[in-house]
Structure 1
C-alpha cells in the first residue's frame, strides 16, 4: 500500500510539473495553473496515505519486537526476551530492513512539512521527494522486515549484539538517518530548480534543510565516535574505517553546500556550485548505503553489513539518481545564472557587513568571498580524497578482476586492498591547516573596512594566543611541523571567532557559524593532542598484588558477576594522597566464544584515564601467563616468543576454531607453533596446546581479544616456574585533552542548530513579506508598500 500510494503521488506530481517551466511562465497561464492545482491536492493526499502506511508498518514492527513474536525473522535476528526495554526498542533499527523503514518514515514526515511550504515549487520538489521513498520502499519489498521464519518459530531470539547495547548506539542510527532524510530536501529543490529553470528562490528555501542535514549528520557521526571511544576499547574515536568515512563524505559536501548557499544568498553567484553540491550530497548518501550494505566492505570494515540480496537494486537506484542528476545539470548548465546581483538583502554574515571589504583587501584579492572559495574547495578536495580511500577496496577489486581476465597486466593489483590510516593523515592534515586559517580570517573579513594597522590590532590577541599555544604544544612534545601548525592555527581560529561571540552574547541565534568555527578549533586541538601524544602501558596484574602505573598503585581484586549486567574486572587505583577509586572494565564472551571487552573511562578536566582489559583473567596450577599483541615479542625461560597472526581453522555452524601463529626462538634456532582454541555450538571450549620440539615449553590459548588483536597464553615447562595465581591483562592509557574533542563537537552542533533556527526564521519572514506584497490594498487594488527587514534570506 505504501509503495502504491507513493507511486501515485509521484505520478501526479510529475504530471502537475509537466511541461517544465519557470514560475513566471506558469503564472501567465491561468488554465495551466488551474490544472496543476487540481492535481496537487490528490498528490498530497496520496503522499499522506503513504506516510500513514509507513508509520503503521513501523508501529507494527515495534509491536512485534515488544511482544517477542519470534515467528518473524527480523525479531529473531535482533531481539531476545532478556533485552532491556530501551534496547528492545533500538533493535528496530539494528538491521538493514529496519533502518530502511526508519529512513523512509523520516523522508515521509519531512515531505509533509515540505509540501506545506514549497509554494510554486511543490510539484517538482515533491516528485523527487516521493521518488526517494519509492527507492527506499522498493528495497524493503526485496528484503522485508516482516519476513516469516521458515518452519517452527524459536522460543527466543538471537538478541542484540552486546556492543550495540549502549545508550549512545541506541540513539546514533535515528539521528544519522534524520540527516540522510534531510539531505533529500536540498536535492529535491536543486532538481526542481533545474526542472523549472528557475533559480530565484531555491537557495533561500533550501538553506534551513541544508543546515539541518549538517547538524544531524554531524551529530550522528559524533555519537558514533563517542560510542567507539567508550565501548570498543581500542582507545580512539575515529579510525578512518570505510563505514565511518561513508557518513563523513556527505557531511563534508553538505558543509561545502552550506557555504556555497551563503554566497548565493548574499552575492547572487555560485549557483552552479551550490546546485551541484546539493545533488552530489544526496547521491553520496546512496553510494554510502551501497558501500555499507552491499557486503563489498565486509573484509575491510568491522561495521559493514553482509550482502543480503539487495545489491542489484541498490546499484540500480544509485545509477538512476546519478544519471538523472547529471543529465539534468548538464542540460541546464548554460542557463544557470552567474549574476553578481544579490538575491536578497541578507544582512551579511551574522549581520556584519558582508561584502563591505576594504579597498585594501580588494586590491590584495582577499575578500570574504575568496575565503569562502578556498574553504569550499578544501572541503570538496578532502571529500574526494576520503572517498577515494574509502572506495579503495571497490577500485582495487575491480582492477584485480581485470587482471584475472587479462593476465599480462601485471601492474594491476592481484586482489582487493584497503588504504591505511597513514593515507588519511597525509591528505587531511594540510587541508585542515588551510581550513583553520580561513576560519580564522572570516571574522576579520566580515568586519567593516579596516586599515592594515587596525587589522593587526584586531588580530593581536588571537595571534598572541596562537603563538602561546604553539609554544606549549612544542614543549609538550608536538614536533611534527604540520601538526604543530595545525594546533597553532586552530587556536588562532578559535580565538578570532570566540571574540565575535563574546562581543554579542545576546545575539547568539545570529552567531551559529562563529560558534561552529570555535568548536572546529577546539576539536582539532583535542584530536591532535589526544591521538598523537597519549600513552599506553600494558600490565599483567596478579590477583591482590599491586603494580605501579605513574602516580597510581594498581591492584587487581578479582571479577564481579552482577545478576543483571556483564562480567567485569575490579581494579583498584590508589593515589599517593590516599585517595582511591575502582575501575571496572567489562570482559565477557559473545555467542561465538570470543571475548569482548569494554573499557572503563575515568574523566578528568584535561585528560582521561582509559582502562581496557586485554582478555579474561585466568587461573591455573602454575606456569607463566603471556599477553601478546599482534607483532609483539616477550621472553620466557630463555626463549623469545613472538605472536605473528591469528590462524583460522574450521568455521562450520557447529564448531569454530581459531589458532595463533607463534615464532619461538632460542639462540640461532627458530620454530613455528600454532596452539588452537575450539568453541562448539554450546559454547564449550577445547584447548589444543603446542609444544617446542625439545619439549621444553608448552603453549595454550587462554583467551583471545578480537578487538585488540591480542592473545593470552599459558606457558608451562622446564624453567618456567610460577605458582598458582589468577592474573588479568589490562591496557592503561592516558588521553590528554580528549575532552576538547567532545566540547568542540558540542559547539559545532549548537552552531548548526542555531543556523537551522535562523535560516528557518528568516525564510518564514520572507514568506510573510511576500504574502503581504501580494495582497492588494483597499485603494484600487494597488500593492501596498512593505519594507523588507534587513537580514531576510
Structure 2
C-alpha cells in the first residue's frame, strides 16, 4: 500500500471518528448558547475531539492530493491513474488539470473542497455545529468510501509502461483548469444547506437555521451557476458543438440542483421575512443535495454511458452510489415525515396571514411551483433511459404488458426539452417581471399601474421588433416579450438605487436571467447554419462573405494545426479565421471552432473534419438555405417523394435555381439497388448551362451534396478542400453577460445575507450578556 492509499484510509478513519463524536454531541441536550471558540468557555472535550478528527481527515486528504499531484508531475506510471490520464509530452498546465480528469481524481477533489467548506461552516454555526457537522461528516464519509472502492492510487497492472495514454484532446484546454474545480466547489457547498436542514430536523429547532443557511445556499447557487457558465462557454468556443447547451445528462446534472437551489433561496426569503414556509424550505434545501447525489449516480455509474458523450463508464462503484443515494434519501424523508407535524408554520406569537394575490409572497409561491416543475421535467428527461429500461424489463417479464411498454432503454432528444421547458421559461419570465412591481403587503392598483407601464411598453416594442425580424412562433414571441419586461422592471430598481446595489442581488440575478433567455432564444432558434465545401484558393460566396480556404497552417510550438480561411465582405472588411483540426495520437479527429465576435452576433466557423481531396465542383446544400454557384443561386427545398420498386429505392431532391431574375425547379434523383449500386439521374437548367447530380444525402441534417457540371462551371478536378459549418449566433453575447450577472447577483446575496447574519448574531450575544450594575462610590 502506497502513501496516497494510506492517507485516504487514515482520512476515512478520522472522519468516522469525527462523525461519531458529533453524533454523541447531537444526542445531548442542546446548550442554551455557546460562545465562539477561544472565549472564556472553551468547547467541551468531545467537541474539540470532533473538530480535531475532522481536521485530521482533511489534512490526510490534502496529503493524498499532494501525493497524486507529485506522481502526475513526476510521470510516475506505476500509478494506473497517471498512466490513463497523462503523458510525458503534456504541458504543465494540462498535467495539473489531469488531477481531476478522471472519476477517482474528481472524488478526491470533491472531498477536499467539502472538508474545507465544512470547517468554515463549523466555525460559524455556533449551537447548531454538532448536528450540522454530523451530516456534513456523513457526506464526507460517502466520498472517501468511494475512493476506497476506486482508488486514485491503484497500481498499474503488469509491466510499468514508459509513457502514459495522455489526456483526452478535448480536455487539453485552459478552461479545464477552471470549470471542474468551480463546479465541484458548488457540489461541495450544496452539502451545507442539506446539513443545516437535517440539523434543524434533528434538534426540532427551527428558530435560527434559515438565517444561518441562506449565505451557504447563495454560495452553492453562485458556484453552480459559475460552473455551468464556464462549461457552456467552453462547449461553445472550444468543443465545436455549434452551441452552448446540448441537454446532455452531465450538463443537466448541475443545472437541476442549481434550479432547486434557486427555489430554496426564494423559500428561505419567506421564512426569514414572514416566518412561514418552513417545511417547504427544508424540503428544497434537502432536495438540492439529493439531486446532486442522484446526478452523480446517473453520470458516474455507467448507466448512461450509451446515452451521454460525457458520462463515465461503469468503474465498479455503481452499487456504492446506489447505497449512499438510498441512505441519504431515507434519512431525509424519515426526518421530514417524523417532524412534519411539529414544524412551525408561523413565527412564535404571530397569527398566520393568508397571502393576497397581489403580493410578493404570492409571487414567490408560484415561483417555487414553476422552478420545481421545471427541474422535475428536466430530471425526468435525464432519467428517461432508466425509466424506459425499467419498463422494458417489466415488459419482458410480463409479456401481456409488453405491447404497451418500450422494448428497450431509450433517451429523449432535444425536442422533449424544448417542448417541456419553453412554457416554464415563459412563466419564469412573467414572475420575474412582476417581482419588482408587487410589495410584501397587498399592492394598490394605482401603484401597480404606475410601476408596470414602462415594462409593458418595452415588452410590446420587443415583441413587435422580434416579429419584424422574423420571429413567428407565439411561444418565442411571448418569451422574448416577457424576458424584456423582466429586464426593464428589475433594471429600473437597480437604476433607482445605484448606491444600494449590494442589497439588490436578487434583482441583478433577475436581469441576468432575462438577458440569458433573450440570448438563448435568439442564438439557438434564429441563427443560421450553412454547410460549405471550400476548394483550396477558390472563393465561395456565403452569408455576405467571399470565403477562401488557403490551406493548413502547421502547428506552432505547443500549439495545434489550423485551417487558414480568409473572409472578405463587400464593405472592405476582412479577417482570417483559424479553426483547429487535427488527428490525435488516439486516432480521434479533434476540431475547435473559430468564433468571430461582433456586437450583436457571432460568426461561428466550425470544421467538419480534416481537409480532403475532393471534386472541386461539389456543393453541400442545407434545406432552406441559399448558396451561390457559378452565377446561379441554389436552394434545397425538400426531398421529393421517394418510391420503391422491387429491390431498389428512388429518392429525389427538389432544388430551386435562380438566375437572371428567373426561378426554375430541378429534381435530380438517386436510385439505390439492394446490391448497393447507385444510379444518379441528373437535372439540367432550361438554358442547358448547369447540371445537378446527387452525390450524397444526409436526412438527419436535412442536407444534400450535389455535383455541379455544365458550361457555366469550370472543369472539375481533384483538389484539396475543407468542409466547414458557417453559422451566425444573434445576441449570443446576451447569454454570457446574463450568466455573469446571475453569478454576480449570487455573490452579492452572499455578502448581504452573511453581513445580516453576523449583525444578528452579535445582537443575540449582546442581549445575552446582563448589564453590569454600577459600582458603589464610597
CA displacement at 1:594 relative to structure 2: 3.7
Q: SS at the partner of 2:407? A: coil
Tell me the equivalent position of 2:173.
Answer: 166
- Whole-angstrom CA distance in 2 between matches of 1:736 and 1:375: 29
Partner of 2:534: 541
Separation (CA, whole Å) in 1 of partners of 2:396 and 2:579:
48
1:486-565 residue pairs with structure 2 within 5 A?
Answer: 486-563=479-556, 564-565=558-559
| Distance across 1 between alignment mates of 2:597 and 2:51 | 52
1:477 corresponding residue in structure 2: 470
**Structure 1 position 670 matched with structure 2 position 679:** no
Does 2:115 match 1:108? yes
- What are the equivalent positions in structure 2 for 1:613-652 lying under 5 Å apart? 613-619=607-613
1:554 and 1:693 map into 2 onto residues whose CA distance is 33
- 2:717 is equivalent to residue 723 of structure 1: yes
CA–CA separation in structure 2 for the residues paired with 1:398 and 1:342: 50
Determine the structure 1 residue equivalent to 2:18: 9
TM-score (norm 1): 0.84
Residues 287 and 318, structure 1, Cα contact 8 Å, conserved in 2: yes
Is residue 131 of structure 1 aligned with residue 138 of structure 2?
yes
State the 1:552 CA deviation. Answer: 1.4
The 1:558–1:668 alpha-carbon spacing in structure 2 relative to 1, beyond 3 Å, is closer
- For residue 207 of structure 2, give the secondary structure of its aligned residue in structure 1: coil
**Deviations, residues 468-489 of structure 1 (Å, cap 9, x unaligned):** 1111011111111111011001
For residue 150 of structure 1, give the secondary structure of its aligned residue in structure 2: coil
Q: Quick one: structure 1 residues 574 and 35, their matched pair in 2 at CA, closer, same or farther if it must change by over 3 Å?
A: closer
Paired position in structure 1 for 2:274: 267
Residue 763 of structure 2 corresponds to: 769
Secondary structure of the residue aligned to 1:325 is helix
Q: How far apart are the structure 2 equivalents of 1:302 and 1:775?
A: 60
> 1:479 and 1:397, CA in 2 relative to 1: closer, same or farther beyond 3 A?
same
1:366 to 353, 358, 365: 358
8 Å CA contact 2:531, 2:622 repeated in 1: no
Checking the alignment, whether the CA contact within 8 Å between 2:536 and 2:548 is kept in structure 1 is: yes
Task: Report if aligned partners of 1:614, 1:708 keep a CA contact under 8 Å in 2.
Answer: no
Q: 1:385 aligns with which of 377, 380, 385?
A: 377
1:432-478 per-residue CA deviation (whole Å, 9 max, x = no partner) reads 11111111111111388764234322222211111111110111111
| Greater CA drift, 259-268 or 406-415 | 406-415
Deviation for aligned residue 1:586: 1.1
Which of residues 145, 148, 158 in structure 1 aligns to 2:152? 145
**Structure 1 stretch displaced more, 303-312 or 439-448:** 439-448
Q: Please tell me whether residue 589 in structure 1 is matched to residue 578 in structure 2.
A: no
- 1:230: Cα distance to partner? 0.9
Larger displacement relative to structure 2 (481-490 or 398-407) = 398-407
What is the aligned counterpart of 1:462 among 440, 455, 458? Answer: 455
Looking at structure 1, the residues matched to 509 and 313 of structure 2 have their Cα atoms a distance apart, in angstroms, of: 36
TM-score, normalising length: structure 2: 0.85
In 1, distance between residues paired with 2:673 and 2:43?
81
2:407 maps to 1:414: yes
CA 1:611–1:386: 2 relative to 1, 3 Å? same
Structure 1 pair 341–503 and aligned structure 2 pair: CA distance change class (3 A): farther
Take 1:264 and 1:175, find their aligned partners in 2: how far apart are those partners? 29
Unaligned runs of 5+ in 1: 28-33, 344-354, 635-639, 644-661, 675-690, 697-701, 782-793
Structure 1 window deviating more from structure 2 (288-297 vs 584-593): it is 584-593
Cα distance per residue 1:146-178 (max 9 Å; x no partner): 011112211111111111112223211111110
Deviations 1:752-776 (A, max 9, x none): 0000111111111112112222223
In 2 relative to 1, CA 10–476 (structure 1 residues): closer, same or farther, beyond 3 Å? same
Structure 2 residue aligned with 1:735: 729
How far does residue 420 in structure 1 lie from its aligned partner after superposition? 1.6
Deviation at 1:506, TM superposition (A): 1.3
- What SS does the corresponding residue of 2:721 show, helix, strand or coil? strand
Aligned CA distance change for structure 1 residues 720 and 263 (closer, same or farther; 3 Å): same
| More displaced stretch, 181-190 vs 416-425 | 416-425
Question: Are 1:614 and 1:710, in contact at CA under 8 Å, matched by a contact in 2?
Answer: no
Deviation at 1:673, TM superposition (A): 7.4
Corresponding residue for 2:663? none
Cα 1:448–1:122 change in 2 (3 A) is closer
Partner-residue secondary structure (3-state), 2:399 = coil
Q: Residue deviations 1:489-538, cap 9 Å, x none?
A: 11111101101101111111101001000111111111111110000111
Matched, 1:328 2:335: yes
Listed one character per residue, the Cα deviations across residues 269-320 of structure 1 (whole Å, up to 9, x for unaligned) are 0000000011111111110000000111111111111000001100000001
Deviation (angstroms), 1:375 = 0.4
Structure 1 position 47 matched with structure 2 position 54: yes
1:572 to 566, 584, 590: 566
1:226 pairs, out of 230, 233, 242, with 233
1:628 Cα deviation from its structure 2 partner: 9.0
Stretch deviating more after TM superposition (42-51 or 449-458) = 449-458
| Offset of residue 237 of structure 1 | 0.8
Confirm or deny: 8 A CA contact 2:608 2:723 kept in the other structure.
yes
Whether 2:413 is the aligned partner of 1:425: answer no
SS at match of 1:444: coil
Measure, in 1, the Cα distance between the counterparts of 2:477 and 2:367. Answer: 21
Do 1:259 and 1:376's aligned partners in 2 also have CA atoms closer than 8 Å?
Answer: yes
1:772 & 1:693 partners in 2: Cα distance?
Answer: 91
Report the CA distance shift for 1:477/1:227 in structure 2 as closer, same or farther (over 3 A).
same
Q: By how many angstroms is 1:579 displaced?
A: 2.5
Pairing 1:388-399 to 2, within 5 Å after superposition: 388-399=380-391
Distance 1:151 1:11, change over 3 A: same
Q: CA deviation at 1:624?
A: 6.3
TM-align CA RMSD: 3.4
Please list every run of 5 or more consecutive structure 2 residues that lacks an aligned counterpart in the other structure: 1-9, 35-40, 628-635, 640-648, 653-667, 683-694
Is the 1:164–1:170 contact (alpha carbons within 8 Å) kept by the matching residues of 2? no
CA–CA distance in 1 between the matches of 2:283 and 2:356? 29
* Count of aligned pairs between the two proteins: 709
Match of 2:642 in 1: none
The answer to whether the 8 Å contact 2:532/2:619 transfers is no
Question: Secondary structure of the equivalent of 2:435?
Answer: helix
**How far 1:428 sits from its partner (Å)?**
1.1
